[in-house]
Amino acid sequence: MRRLLLSVFAGLASLLSLVAAPAAASQAVDFPFTTIASNAVGTPRCFGPLNLGNADGTPIVLMDCNQFWRGFAHVSTPDNSIRHFGGKCLSMATTSAPVPLNTPLVLRDCSRVALGDQQWIFWAVQPGGLDGRWVLRNPGSFRCAGLLNNGTGIGTRLVVQQCDFRLGQQWLLPPGERPSKYGFGFDDGTTV
């Protein structure tokens, strides 16, 4: 009986190691945080939550560059979310399809990434992305994050717009850095 129990426990241990191995392989990668600055303004302005809020539904606005973001990935596969240092995700205020123009961008709990309203790709303005200018495109709606009415003042809200690469849709990372350094999904226009 004792030998039977030992072999059962050994078999269970083997099964547990097989089940635990994939979980270890899907561990989250810890990416550094960064600011995301607007290319439409002469002085550095970035996007962040209104009044430094962190509640679901907090509007995303143009502000001083003191808010930090990063992507999220399991191993090397980004989930295409842009995560605020407060733990929330950059989201559209609606999940309806088609996404209406000028839908506000807000903070939301990151549990909705699979729905698509929290997925963003840094899309190079110039092939290769070497000039550091990127458009934030939502792959599900084919809409881009931009400044409402092309505003440049602090407090200007971010909304989704038709992607046309205007200055109010262009975003900058720190000079010389690629989106992948921060865990962001990107398309630099060089892949076929």
Domain membership of residue 3 (yes or no) is no
Domain membership of residue 6 (yes or no) is no
User: What 3-state DSSP class applies to 157?
Assistant: strand
Domain membership of residue 44 (yes or no) is yes
In sequence order, which ranges of the chain are alpha helices (DSSP H)? 2-25
- Cβ atoms of 157 and 145 within 8 Å: the answer is no
How many angstroms separate the most distant Cα atoms in the chain? 79
Domain membership of residue 4 (yes or no) is no
Burial 103-129 (b: 16+ CB within 10 A, else e): bbbbbbebebbeebbbbbbbbbbeeeb
User: What 3-state DSSP class applies to 131?
Assistant: coil
How far apart, in Å, are the Cα atoms of 25 and each of 14, 76, 187? 17, 10, 25
Q: In 10 A of CB 137, how many CB atoms?
A: 22
Domain membership of residue 134 (yes or no) is yes
List, in sequence order, every residue forming a beta bridge with 135; answer none if it has no partner: 123, 170
- Cβ atoms of 135 and 147 within 8 Å: the answer is no
Question: Is cis: bond before 98, omega within 30 of 0?
Answer: yes
Domain membership of residue 155 (yes or no) is yes
- Give the per-residue pLDDT at 22: 38
Rounded to the nearest angstrom, the gap between the alpha carbon of residue 160 and the centroid of all alpha carbons in its chain is: 14
- Give the per-residue pLDDT at 79: 85
pLDDT tens figures, 126-169: 988 889 999 999 999 999 999 999 999 999 999 999 999 999 99
CATH of the domain at 64: 2.80.10.50
- Give the per-residue pLDDT at 11: 41
Domain membership of residue 151 (yes or no) is yes
Q: Which domain holds residue 126?
A: 27-187
Q: In 10 A of CB 95, how many CB atoms?
A: 14
Question: 22 phi and psi, to 5 degrees?
Answer: -60, -35
Q: How far apart are CA 107 and CA 112, in angstroms?
A: 11
pLDDT one digit per residue (tens) for the chain, 192 residues? 444 333 433 443 333 333 333 333 446 678 999 999 999 987 789 999 999 999 999 999 999 999 999 998 765 666 889 999 888 999 999 888 889 999 999 999 988 777 889 999 999 999 888 899 999 999 999 999 999 999 999 999 999 999 999 999 999 999 889 999 999 999 988 764
List, in sequence order, every residue forming a beta bridge with 74; answer none if it has no partner: 28, 77
How many distinct structural domains can be found in the chain? 1
Q: How far apart are CA 33 and CA 31, in angstroms?
A: 7
- Give the per-residue pLDDT at 13: 37
Domain membership of residue 117 (yes or no) is yes
- Give the per-residue pLDDT at 3: 43
